[in-house]
Amino acid sequence: MSSTTLQKASEIIKSWLPGIKRFSIGTAKASGGTVLGVSMLASSIVGGGLLGLAISFRNLPDVRVLGSYVPSQTSYIYDVKGRLLARVHGEENRELVELSEISPELKRAVLAIEDSHFYNHAGVNFSSAGRALKVNLEKGQVVEGASTITMQLVKNLFLTRDRVYSRKLAEVVMAIRLEQVFSKDKILEIYLNNIYWGHNNYGIKTASQNYFNKHPRDLNLSEAAMMAGLIQAPERYSPFINYKETKRRQQTVLRRMRELGWISRSEEIAAFKAPLLVGKPTTWNYKEIPYVTQAVIEELNDRFGVENVQRGGLRVQITVDKDYQQMAEETVRKSHKRLRYWGIRADQIALVAVDPRTHYVKALVGGLDYSKSQFNRATQAKRQPGSSFKPFVYYTALASGKYQPDTEIEDEPVRYRVVSGYYEPKNYTKKHVGTTDVRRALMYSMNVPAVKVGKSVGLNRVIEVCRMLGIKSTLQPVLSLPLGSMEVTPLEMAGAYATFASNGWHSDPTLIVRVTDSQGNVLLNNIPKPKLLLNRWAVASLNDLLQDVVKSGTGTAAQIGRPVAGKTGTTEDERDVWFVGYVPQLATAVWIGNDNFQPIGRGATGGTHAAPIWRDFMIKALENEPVRYFPSASSYSRPLPSRY
């Protein structure tokens, strides 16, 4: 504590002495006391105050920390076109604004009702403080504050709200110190950005936007007077709660401004008569396309931590176009009604679309209705992919150099000895065709050949390929792995297939394009940096095989009039139904099922029920995209059998 600050604080306490003496003398006469006793009382107050200042205030917080203080701020999420999707914050919904960006009417209204001598005092208003002390002595407790804006700021940021003399004295000393360190304008700016304005709005910018959908620079006199009136009791004077009480408080502010000579009588009347065109209070955490914004927040939390996301004032641009996402959601809702009409008892559908050129997520539908269930099936639900897992097995086989599309495989009954006894894979049709080849085995989704190929190339190698493609879910090298017995998410499937669509170039799928702080400093720039992870001949050969699946195999319902590669998936018990497919510009996974894992209906298959949903979405998604073709395997060299 500097000697200058202590000296000024001492002068303040001394300045209260005449008021204390006048009050005490009157009290003493009425009760038969003596002037000597009054003088002793006054001297004790002054002496005790000075002693308290000297001893206690050495440990007060250093107000200079406000020079680098940044209060918690709301983070904002925008779609790829810059449209606001979500506000994310903890308890305090706040966005900072400079004093120059606040309307003069608001600044005058706040000063008029809160501290009209703000620009004339040194942190404490001596006359107001003397009056308050007199009232408090009469009541025997602290009932009147007489706080200046500087003192209010100190109390809000540094001190407790206990109504005791020791806290009030600390407030005085720190307010004086604050005025020595910072300019008046800076103090007012910090104050307006920190105080509570009601309905979870902290700081003038979020409050102005909440009440009037305006930037604070655009507030007129009528609106400014209402806002200033909120400070004393925000919820009590809120126009969302009691408009009549709001107008009464607004009139008090306008009258005070007129008494100070800051506005005319005609301005006062006009401002009071003007209707307050307030909107509706924003929700605690406002979100559009909530399944997407929820997934974005989870990704942000992983990268930056929950505290920084809720309090750091991040500005986040994501990969999704709001209109595109809403189209995907509408497609899913209509498709669900169609499934119900067909007698399919599926409670949920998930859809994820990924751009193979960037691995940016373009659409993410986590369920039918976020208001009823916040569980995001696109990112959180791990379900068996069934035969849609087989392309990972066949890519591994092709990349090993041991297999080609025309390599023959025997489709016949087979039995493997395992720990629990025997494992006997069965085809979906319960029939076998004898000698076949890789192309036909994949085209018609035969199970026995897939198990044989997986065992031949090594199940651990298949898992390694899945890891390269971004599948992080638990995978075990069991004989049933090639048939999709392990659980994965729709996002993992869409991201992995996107790497097939890009002919082997991979990036980790993301929903985030760019993140900056509230000052515009770039914290994350997700410029795609794809790496070539797959063998070019093997992936081109796989793409050729998967096109045949759609042309004349199990996925014919996914035809959209351009080259399409894809794979159906149906679990044996009909609990999970999939179609995952792609064109060079977009890879999309569709899953159908029930949260309780109950079967969705006898005869339900990925080709019959998931592929049409995929088709409907892709036709709309590719409206403005030209037809593109997959590279031919003949453009690349086939790997030698000794290579992976």
Question: What are the catalytic residues?
Answer: 114, 387
CA distances from 398 to 146, 451, 481, 537 (A): 82, 15, 18, 8
How deeply is 5 buried, as exposed, middle or buried, from its count of CB atoms within 10 A (0-12, 13-18, 19+)? Answer: buried
Half-sphere exposure of 614 (CA within 13 A, CB side): 37
Only one residue has tokens 């002495």, namely 17
The CA distance from 641 to 78, in Å, is 49
Single-letter code of the amino acid located at 3: S
Single-letter code of the amino acid located at 448: V
Q: Which residues pair with 577 in a beta bridge?
A: 570, 592
Cβ atoms 452, 409 nearer than 8 A:
yes
Neighbours of 384 (CB within 10 A): 23
Cβ atoms 159, 167 nearer than 8 A:
yes
* Sheet with 315-318, edge to edge strand ranges: 84-88, 75-78, 315-318, 512-516, 522-525
Single-letter code of the amino acid located at 379: T
Three-state SS string over 487-504 comes to CECHHHHHHHHHHHHCCC
Cβ atoms 378, 489 nearer than 8 A:
yes
Pairing mode, if any, of strands 531-532 and 522-525?
Answer: unpaired
- Give the SS3 label for residue 507: coil
The CA distance from 370 to 379, in Å, is 14
CA neighbor of 552 nearest in space, from 566, 538, 541: 566
The CA distance from 157 to 140, in Å, is 27
Residue 87, φ and ψ in degrees, nearest 5: -115, 130
Degrees to nearest 5, angle at CA 66 with 70 and 111:
95
Degrees to nearest 5, angle at CA 79 with 217 and 335:
135
Single-letter code of the amino acid located at 560: I
The C-alpha torsion from 171 through 173 and 177 to 178, rounded to 10°, is 10
Single-letter code of the amino acid located at 594: N
The CA distance from 627 to 616, in Å, is 17
Region of 636 please: left (phi>0), alpha (psi -120 to 50) or beta: beta
The CA distance from 438 to 400, in Å, is 14
Only one residue has tokens 């300019």, namely 183
The CA distance from 455 to 163, in Å, is 77
The CA distance from 499 to 507, in Å, is 8
Q: Which residues pair with 409 in a beta bridge?
A: 436
The CA distance from 527 to 541, in Å, is 29
